[in-house]
């Protein structure tokens, strides 16, 4: 069975003490997750090291960075490299979140560089893709997402692509309270898997976890995650409330 993943993206939220309390509450309430399940916390940079220490050897539970730079090192004030992340034992990194694409003009080619750097340091990229509202309304969301995948991931070989987690996030449903229906989520996840299958083969595509991101809550997670091509979620606002995120974790297949 593909890895089923509940990934929390705290974004630019929580002070250190607030984050410690949130993490403590979730870790204390989640118990042991099953072997095919993973819980990932994408924490703001200043708290990565301390959060990794707090999680310790807890089974199938990891800390992620929310971003990395697309160069290995240099005069890039305020940026963080994959070498820095590797040096503090970070195992996951979000790449290409829609907010990074929109606010920081990250291109598909730049994201291909980030994916390469993450993989070179044994960091799992959680690669985000998804369409804005105008693309969805025009009915060309499949082509839009396919281009994102092609330009950022299709240079990889079959072994490398299986190290990538993909997160589909309909941009019109992020932080808006709107959620793609479970059928809409499944349709896009099925399309993504078919695109991957054409490039890398059905067996490879069948091994890649594809998460849904877009106003996932405790109340809708089970229905969304029950879809055959949905392998969990990349969760924003609901991951900032311990009880909500615990319910999401418990909704994994």
Question: What pLDDT, on the 0 to 100 scale, is given for residue 176?
Answer: 73
Question: What pLDDT, on the 0 to 100 scale, is given for residue 57?
Answer: 85
Boundaries of domain holding 207: 4-250
Whether 153 contacts 161, CB under 8 Å: yes
Tens digits of residue pLDDT in 86-104? 999 999 999 999 999 999 9
Counting residues of the chain whose pLDDT is more than 70, the rounded percentage is 99
Active-site residue set: 97, 169
Question: What pLDDT, on the 0 to 100 scale, is given for residue 114?
Answer: 98
Length, in residues, of the chain: 253
- CA–CA dist 49, 72 (Å, integer): 20
**Rounded mean pLDDT, 16-26:** 97
Largest CA distance in the chain: 47
Q: Residue 4: pLDDT above 80?
A: yes
List CB contacts of 86: < 8 A, sequence separation 6 or more: 121, 122, 123
Question: What pLDDT, on the 0 to 100 scale, is given for residue 223?
Answer: 96
Whether 6 contacts 58, CB under 8 Å: no
Tens digits of residue pLDDT in 166-190? 999 998 877 777 767 899 999 999 9
Tens digits of residue pLDDT in 120-159? 999 999 999 999 989 998 999 999 999 999 999 999 999 9
Question: What pLDDT, on the 0 to 100 scale, is given for residue 23?
Answer: 97
Q: What is the CATH number of the domain that holds 53?
A: 3.20.20.70
List CB contacts of 228: < 8 A, sequence separation 6 or more: 186, 190
- Average pLDDT of the chain, as a whole number: 96
Look up residue 90 and give its two tokens.
Answer: 């970070």
**Rounded mean pLDDT, 50-61:** 94
Q: Residue 31: pLDDT above 80?
A: yes
Tens digits of residue pLDDT in 199-234? 999 999 999 999 999 889 999 999 999 999 999 999
Question: What pLDDT, on the 0 to 100 scale, is given for residue 214?
Answer: 84
- CA–CA dist 144, 156 (Å, integer): 20
- H, E, C per residue of the chain: CCCEEEEEECCCCCCHHHHHHHHHHHHHHHCCCCCCEEEEEECCHHHHHHHHHHHCCCCCEEEEECCCCCCCCCCCCCCCCHHHHHHCCCCEEEECCHHHHHHHCCCHHHHHHHHHHHHHCCCEEEEEECCCHHHHHHCCHHHHHHHHHHHHHCCCCHHHHCCCEEEECCHHHCCCCCCCCHHHHHHHHHHHHHHHHHHHCHHHHCCCCEEECCCCCCCCHHHHHCCCCCCEEEECHHHHCHHHHHHHHHCCC
Query: What's the number of domains the chain is made of?
Result: 1
Q: Residue 27: pLDDT above 80?
A: yes
Rounded to 5 degrees, φ, ψ at 223 are -65, -45
Which among 144, 138, 50, 160 has a CA at the least distance from the CA of 101?
A: 144
């Amino acid at each position: 069975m593909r890895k089923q993943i509940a990934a929390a993206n705290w974004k630019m939220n929580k002070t250190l003490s607030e984050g410690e309390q949130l993490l403590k509450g979730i870790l204390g309430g989640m118990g042991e997750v099953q072997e095919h399940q993973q819980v990932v916390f994408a924490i703001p940079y200043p708290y990565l090291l301390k959060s990794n220490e707090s999680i310790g050897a807890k089974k199938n539970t990891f800390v992620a960075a929310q971003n990395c730079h697309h160069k290995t090192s240099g005069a890039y004030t305020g940026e963080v490299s994959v070498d820095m992340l590797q040096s503090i034992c970070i195992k996951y990194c979000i790449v290409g979140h829609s907010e990074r694409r929109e606010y920081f003009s990250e291109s598909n080619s730049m994201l291909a560089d980030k994916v390469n750097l993450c993989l070179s340091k044994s960091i799992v990229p959680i690669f985000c893709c998804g369409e804005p509202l105008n693309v969805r309304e025009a009915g060309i969301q499949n082509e839009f997402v396919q281009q994102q995948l092609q330009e950022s991931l299709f240079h990889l070989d079959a072994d490398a692509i299986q190290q990538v987690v993909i997160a589909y996030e309909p941009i019109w449903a992020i932080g808006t309270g709107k959620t793609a229906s479970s059928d809409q989520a499944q349709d896009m996840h099925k399309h993504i898997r078919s695109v991957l299958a054409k490039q890398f083969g059905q067996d490879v595509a069948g091994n890649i976890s594809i998460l849904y991101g877009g106003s996932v809550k405790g109340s809708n997670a089970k229905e969304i995650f029950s879809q055959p091509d949905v392998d969990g979620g990349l969760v924003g606002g609901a991951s900032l409330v311990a009880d909500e995120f615990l319910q999401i974790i418990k909704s994994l297949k």
